[in-house]
Amino acid sequence: MSPEISKPIRRAALVFTVLTLSALLLYTATDSNRLSSGSFSSSSFATIFPSYLNYSSSSNPTQELEEILKNASMVNNTVILTTLNDAWARTGSIVDLFLESFMLGDGTRKLLDHLVIVSLDERAYNRCRIVHKHCYALVTKGVGFHQEAYFMTPQYLKMMWRRIDFLRTVLELGYSFVFTDADIMWFRDPFPRFFPDADFQISCDNYLGRPEDMNNSPNGGFNYVKSNSRSIAFYKFWYSSRETYPGYHDQDVLNKIKSDQMITKIGLKIRFLDTAYFGGLCEPSRDLNVVCTMHVNCCIGMDRKLHDLNLMLQDWRAFMSLPPDLKNQSIISWRVPRNCSLDPL
């Protein structure tokens, strides 16, 4: 082909290439603006993150959940679970401090590989995908959990009971779990402190000194449950008991049924966890040399929780910076509760 003929062809090809690239860039920019705009719909969200619509359009949501649990589980089919809504998922809020505690804790960073964040709304799920690798969307039709659920409001009760029903599903899939509220800081691996022969172990607001004492006051924010026929039957009984005690949340109902004859019939072995290792603001763990977790319980209100959680992490950083001989002298103790001490609980 002569140079005179090839020049127009090359120019035409160049123009075609430029126009094609321009159109592609325009389409990409338009699509990006659509995704980031306030009109970004749940259906668009589902197209990108199909697991978000496990409640409506997923052909097999149970299979999807099982896949996530499988990817996060330890060798003994155990996972760590927490639930999250938009109010606790925002930047600088509860979830950031929760994840930071795993990073700062003594031997806890590796446990993040086994943590599944169960998101209760679209925004929480979207944030989870940014900050963590194991995310599951659990949405209840007609119920929005995106705002802060104040203690004992109808929204709070629905969220607590939805959680109990979901945990039963996890057990039925053959997975044991540690459930933890996101306002619990993880400072040490808790597994060495669990009882090897118990089916259901739970933290306490107040611990009376013996793990089998049914007069201990349980706190549903932290528990370790083994998957077996007894624990599954127990969670079904617990969930159904909400109808026997309407207007009560899961923790109050547990207090009412923990000595029920049905528990004996099921054969469930319950143990209560010592606040020396699994403390909270109701009853803090005093020795930072042995504490595993600290819960901002007995505290109502996001701002108060955030203040005391930040203070707690500051205390832990100061403790971890000490040389071993000073750590053993217990010269640092918690400065919490601080703002939460104003609560009537």
CB 140 within 8 A of CB 54: no
Closest CA to 217 of 173, 261, 293, 275: 275
- Report pLDDT digits (tens) over 120-160: 989 999 999 999 999 999 876 655 544 444 444 666 678 78
- Report pLDDT digits (tens) over 279-306: 999 999 999 999 999 999 999 899 999 9
Total H helices, total E strands in the chain:
12, 10
- Report pLDDT digits (tens) over 147-193: 444 444 666 678 788 899 999 999 999 999 999 999 999 999 999 99
| Residue with token string 């939805």 | 162
| Residue with token string 């909400």 | 242
Residue 342's pLDDT is what? 56
Domain formed by 59-276, architecture: Alpha-Beta Complex (3.90)
Q: E strands of the chain, at which residues?
A: 78-84, 115-119, 135-137, 176-180, 184-186, 200-206, 217-225, 270-272, 278-280, 293-295
Q: Which pTM was predicted?
A: 0.81
